[in-house]
Structure 1
Amino acid sequence: MKIIRKDVAHCSIRKDGRKVTKLLEMNIDSLSSSMVLYHCDVPKGEFAEHYHAKSTELIFFPEGGKIKVNGKLYDMNPWDGVLLEPGDRHGYNESECKDIIHFAIRIPAEDDKVEVQECPSIL
């Protein structure tokens, strides 16, 4: 698991004036040739704790939020992200019932989500 913080990422200004922030660079050759990109609107900010058996998942929070990973709670600023390896338990429950938006990329694009049943509340 790796937390990705936008405020410490490398930023450059291109000749045309674009501000480009490199949030993550990684080699995916060994992972798979398939991927899936999700945009999720999560009502009341509740997303049940789960893990992926085979997939690596990258989740970004455009408006910020909170996520619990492997038992530890992380505050996410706008556009912060988290890189999750297979088996990393994750989910969230925003205590103020705030709707959460996140973008997720999963590699490979497999349906390998496993719900965590032993823990009724993740916060």
Structure 2
Amino acid sequence: MLRNLILLLCLVATQASAGAWPRQKGSGFASIATRLEFDETYTLSPSYNSIYLEYGLNGRHTLGVDAGQSSDGATRTVAFLRMPLFETKRGNPVAIELGLGKSTNRSSCGRACPGDAV
């Protein structure tokens, strides 16, 4: 059953058209993901959950957030601003992105440890 579901998902997958160009003013994009792993008893369990958001501020700037948390409590959050620079002769977009974020590692002391922020 699981094998048939995986095959079906592969057959209906479409091409992802991502690029460095900004979102149109007022438009956005959201993605939620969960990574699953088998533990030592071969039980499937979530190991990392994440959310990715983009919002078009105007015709040139896109604001975004990329955040996630692992099953042991470690977190990562990055806010970013993207701005296109130019398009190459072959049509490839080139952009600059500035991000500011924080990561914590809770696995070593059961809570956010001093000095864990990156």
- Band of TM-score, shorter chain: under 0.3
Relative contact order, CA 8 A, sep 6+: which one is greater?
A: 1
**Richer in helix (by share):** 2
**Which entry has the higher C-alpha Rg, 1 or 2?**
2
